[in-house]
Structure formats: C-alpha cells, structure tokens
Chains A and B, each alone.
Chain A
Amino acid sequence: MESLVGRHQAAVARLLWRFVRTKADLDDLVQDTFLRMVRGMPGWRAKQPFEHWLLRIATNTGRDYFRRQAVRRRWTVERTTAGADDESEPEAPDPGIDPAARAAANDVKMILAQLPPDDRALLTLHHLEGWGLAQIAAQFGWTLTATKLRAWRARRHLRTLFQAKGLP
C-alpha cells in the first residue's frame, strides 16, 4: 500500500493543486483521496488501469471539496467582495516558483470559485489541467452531450464574471 502511495502521490497532488489554493487544503485532499483509495480497494476491478481509477477518486474528491465550499458559503454571512468567496487565503509563493504563474492561477481559481461546484470542477479540469470534455464526462459519469452543454453554459457564465472582474 505504501509503495502505491509513493508511486502515485505526485500525480494526485499535481491534479488536486488545481482545485485548491493553499498547501493545507492540498494535503487534506491528497490524504482524503488516498484514504478513499484504501477503503475502495476491494471494489477496484483490474479491467481499468489503477492510475485512472485513482485519478477518478481524486477528481471526485476535488468536486466534493467544491460542493462543501458551496454549502458553507451558502450558510455563512453574506460577503460582498467577490474575492472573499473562496475562504482560504492563497498560498504565499515559494521562492522557487514562477510568481506570475502563481498569481495568474490564483486569479483563475478565484473567478472559477464563483461558479456552481460541478461547473467549477468541469472548467478547472478543462482550462487548468487541459482535459478534453470526453475525458471529463467519463470521469464524472456524465454523457458527452450533457458535458458539452454544461461546459458551454459555464463558459458563458465565466465570460460574464471575467468581464465584470476587469482583471488586467
């Protein structure tokens, strides 16, 4: 089990970083993914590659995180500033990373945070991770047509949000 964790943790962390803005949240989601993996191990069928199965667990963990955030947001005091929608403060940039890339990623995540959770998960994977719509549909168990329609609506919503935001 530990060798599986060691082999796949980097890929899982890389994917889940697209869903979060802080290292603490990243560690939580990565742990959650691997705990789900341990619990779901007897249900894994060898007909699908292990990594695909694990990444499906990771994307579902990310989507559940968005859903929890949306529920929490609904029940907390109304916030007027759009940026405060995402509860966590962005991670302070490490010296080794590209600060412009981190700033851009934080801006994109902040705008995506205003979408409904499923749309947010879809566009996070599509825009930030570069996944195709067919792959996303397969991951979430949606039909391709429904995914295309959802993506079209989400992009339209996103364009409005981006224009309203007036980012440089």
Chain B
Amino acid sequence: MKTPRPDSDSRWEKLLRQAQADAGPPADLTALLRAVRQAPPAAQAGWATEFTALFSSARIVSGCLAGATACALFTTWQVWDSWQALPWAQLLITAAGGEP
C-alpha cells in the first residue's frame, strides 16, 4: 500500500508549477550596453597568470606527486642495485665498522 503523500507536498508542487511559468521582465539593454562599453578593458594575461592557470588543476598536482614518487622509487632501486660498486658506499661501510 502506498503511503499517502502529505497535503502540503501537493500544494507545494502546484505552487512550483505556477511559479515556473512566471516570465520575468526583459533587462534594460541600453543601460547594459552602456555599462559594458564603459567597463575598463580586461588586462592581458601575462605569463604568471598562464602559469598559475596551468598548474591550478588538481590533476596536475597529483600527476607531479606521482611522477616524483616514481622518480624516487627508480633512484632507490638503482642505488640498491649498484650499492657494491659505489666507492662512497664502501667508505660508509668501513666507517660504520663493517667488513671492508
């Protein structure tokens, strides 16, 4: 059995339907054109604005973070692989009291 809808809901919907049919007056086009003509010209976007716009997207920030993480992982992997071949690594082992 369907729950009967409150009476206020149907009254509200009726009021909305009527309200949606309301058409507003036209805007004062003469005054509008005058205001637009008098508006100061927009400043040309400089390189700083372009740069900010380019990096304003959240996607670019997350892309940079992902790139930095990938770069760090790759470097760690390379260092780990060539650990034995690095002369400063040998010095570090000696200084730490390890086997030369």
* A residues lining the B interface (CB < 8 Å): 1-2, 5-6, 9-10, 12-14, 16-18, 23, 26-27, 30-31, 34-35, 38-43, 91, 94, 97-98, 100-105, 107-109, 127-128, 130, 159, 162-163, 167-168
Contact in complex: B19, A104 (CB < 8 Å): yes
| Complexed CA–CA distance, A108 and B20 (Å) | 10
* B residues lining the A interface (CB < 8 Å): 8-9, 11-12, 15-16, 18-29, 31-33, 35-37, 39, 41-45, 49, 53
Say whether chain B's binding surface is mostly helix, strand, loop, or mixed: helix
Contact in complex: B15, A167 (CB < 8 Å): yes
Contact in complex: A23, B25 (CB < 8 Å): yes
Contact in complex: B25, A107 (CB < 8 Å): no
Contact in complex: A2, B37 (CB < 8 Å): yes
Contact in complex: A162, B43 (CB < 8 Å): no
Contact in complex: B25, A94 (CB < 8 Å): yes
